[in-house]
Amino acid sequence: MATAARTTRPLYRSLARPDLLYGVERDLFLLEAMLAMFGIFFVPAFAWKLATAALLFFIAHPLLVRVAKTDPRFSRVYVRSLPYLDFYPAGSHADVRRQSIEEFRAGVER
């Protein structure tokens, strides 16, 4: 039986790189751009348009870039984790008493 020669193929970096626009997750950047367009077209006073644009591009955008540097898929992971809040509530260690989400929201402690 003849053994096949083992071949290697390169794994291109672009296949594993996250999909970012201007350093921000694509979906969050599009949401940010949509909010900017909303501010430009629907805010009546010119000064408020400048304030809205400045708020988005000098505060929100750098914050989103920083979050994307930490975790490029932050929003997808967060949205995917929402259905599991009932099963895995926040706790500080393995022996923490698990509360249901209703008890947690009501502030009930045993």
What residue ranges do the domains of the chain occupy? 19-89+99-106
Average pLDDT over residues 95-109: 67
Q: pTM of this prediction?
A: 0.63
In this structure, which amino acid lies at residue 73? R
| pLDDT value at residue 93 | 62
- Taking the C-alpha atoms of residue 41 and residue 65, their distance in angstroms, rounded to an integer, is 25
Contacts of 5 (CB under 8 A, 6+ apart): none
pLDDT, tens digit, for every residue of 13-63?
Answer: 888 888 899 999 999 999 988 888 888 888 788 888 888 888 888 898 999
pLDDT for the residue 39: 80
The number of C-alpha atoms within 13 Å of 101 and in the hemisphere containing its C-beta is 8
Distance in angstroms (rounded) separating the CA atoms of residues 59 and 41: 20
Give CA–CA dist 81/85, Å, rounded.
7
Q: What is the mean pLDDT of residues 88-108?
A: 67
DSSP H stretches of helix in 22-71: 26-42, 46-55, 61-70
Higher model confidence: residue 89 or residue 60? 60
